[in-house]
């Protein structure tokens, strides 16, 4: 299996609102791909369709040459972070990861390993309801990394993190990309992406308006931020 994400001709409407209009792009392994665009441009919808939560009206969305629902133990192929707040407040962080691990037949030892890695070992046995936004974000990342997947899909992974958390997240994503994984990161933080992403997909109004190496964007527009502002205007 090749660690790629392939979105092709994806369209989706909600009533009369067009959310996606023939969205097409490809994410290749070995680098972080930035996924940027204004609110409502279709980033989250695309990601949700990629992992089978929403249904497209037309087009295909494949992860590793397959659609998500064909994957066996899907979290060992694709790690996803969409909404870090989606935990049960009464369940501890460790138990949250534990049921996820059990659903993928991943040994429980991996859970403790990951809690250590994302810096939640000390809070692992506390109820998730008491977690700060940053801690939830770390728990969400731990869930995404649980199955050691070759593909990562992360929506605003920097949300709620403190400055040390930014550094940690940046390193984590870069390291995964260097290991030959495909990493798709949706974010509004142009400064972060400029240093981190090797490639950028810019979307607006449900379609791709630019799909190029970050370096090319920077060369042409001066910075990723300028490129973004120019492209989505």
Partner 1 sequence: MIRAELTKLRTVRGWLFGLTAAVVLFVGSALLVAAGSHMSCGDQACPAPPVGPDGQAVEDHFGFAHRTLAGDGSLTAHVRDFSGIITYPPPRHDQIVEGLVPWAKAGLVIKDGTRPGSPYAAVMLTGSHGVRMQHDYVHDRAGGPTGARWLRLTRTGASVTAYASLDGKTWTTVGTVEMSGPAEIGFLIASPGDITVTENGLGGTSVQSRFTQASAVFDQITSTAGGEWRYDEVGGGGPGADWEKYHRPAGLEASAGRLTLTGSGDLAPVSGMAAVPYLAGTVPALLAVLIVAVLFITSEFRRGLIRTTLLASPARGHVLAAKAAVIGGVTFTVVLVAVVAARAWSTTVFRANGNIVLPTGALTDLRLAVGTAALLAVTAVLAYGLGVLLRRGLPAILLAVLLTVVPYLLATTSLLPPGAGEWLLRVTPAAGFAVQQTFPAYGHVLLPYTPAQGYFPLAPLAGLAIAAAWALGLLVLAVLRFRRADV
Residues interacting with partner 1, by CB under 8 A? 48, 51-55, 68-69, 71, 74-75, 80, 82-83, 85-92, 95, 98-100, 102-104, 143
With CA atoms as reference, report the closest residue to 158 among 190, 117, 187: 187
- Of the pair 97, 227, the CB lying nearest partner 1 is at 97
The minimum distance between CB 233 and partner 1, in angstroms, equals 30
Is the C-alpha dihedral spanning 89, 51, 145, 157 positive or negative?
A: negative
The minimum distance between CB 153 and partner 1, in angstroms, equals 10
- Of the pair 4, 95, the CB lying nearest partner 1 is at 95
Q: Which residues pair with 155 in a beta bridge?
A: 186
The minimum distance between CB 119 and partner 1, in angstroms, equals 20
- Of the pair 142, 197, the CB lying nearest partner 1 is at 142
- Of the pair 18, 82, the CB lying nearest partner 1 is at 82
- Reading across the β-sheet that carries 182-186, which strands appear in turn? 78-81, 151-155, 182-186, 31-36, 199-204, 207-213
Q: Show Cβ contacts of residue 147 under 8 Å, excluding neighbours closer than 6 positions.
A: 73, 74, 75, 76, 77, 79, 104, 106
The minimum distance between CB 193 and partner 1, in angstroms, equals 24
């Amino acid at each position: 299996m090749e660690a790629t994400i392939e979105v092709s001709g994806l369209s989706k409407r909600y009533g009369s609102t067009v959310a996606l209009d023939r969205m097409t792009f490809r994410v290749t392994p070995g680098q972080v791909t930035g996924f940027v665009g204004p609110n409502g441009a279709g980033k989250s919808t695309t990601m949700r369709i990629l992992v089978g939560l929403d249904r497209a009206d037309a087009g295909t969305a494949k992860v590793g040459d397959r659609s998500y629902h064909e994957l066996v133990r899907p979290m060992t192929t694709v790690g996803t972070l969409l909404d870090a707040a989606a935990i049960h407040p009464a369940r501890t962080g460790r138990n949250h990861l534990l049921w996820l691990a059990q659903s993928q037949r991943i040994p429980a030892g991996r859970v403790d390993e990951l809690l250590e890695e994302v810096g939640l070992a000390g809070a692992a046995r506390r109820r998730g309801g008491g977690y700060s936004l940053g801690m939830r974000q770390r728990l969400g990342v731990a869930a995404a990394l649980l199955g050691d997947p070759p593909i990562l899909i992360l929506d605003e992974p920097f949300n709620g993190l403190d400055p040390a958390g930014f550094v940690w997240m940046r390193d984590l994503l870069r390291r995964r990309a260097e290991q030959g994984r495909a990493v798709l990161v949706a974010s509004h933080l142009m400064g972060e992406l400029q240093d981190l992403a090797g490639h950028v997909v810019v979307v607006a109004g449900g379609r791709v308006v630019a799909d190029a190496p970050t370096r090319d964007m920077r060369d042409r527009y001066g910075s990723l931020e300028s490129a973004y502002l120019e492209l989505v205007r």
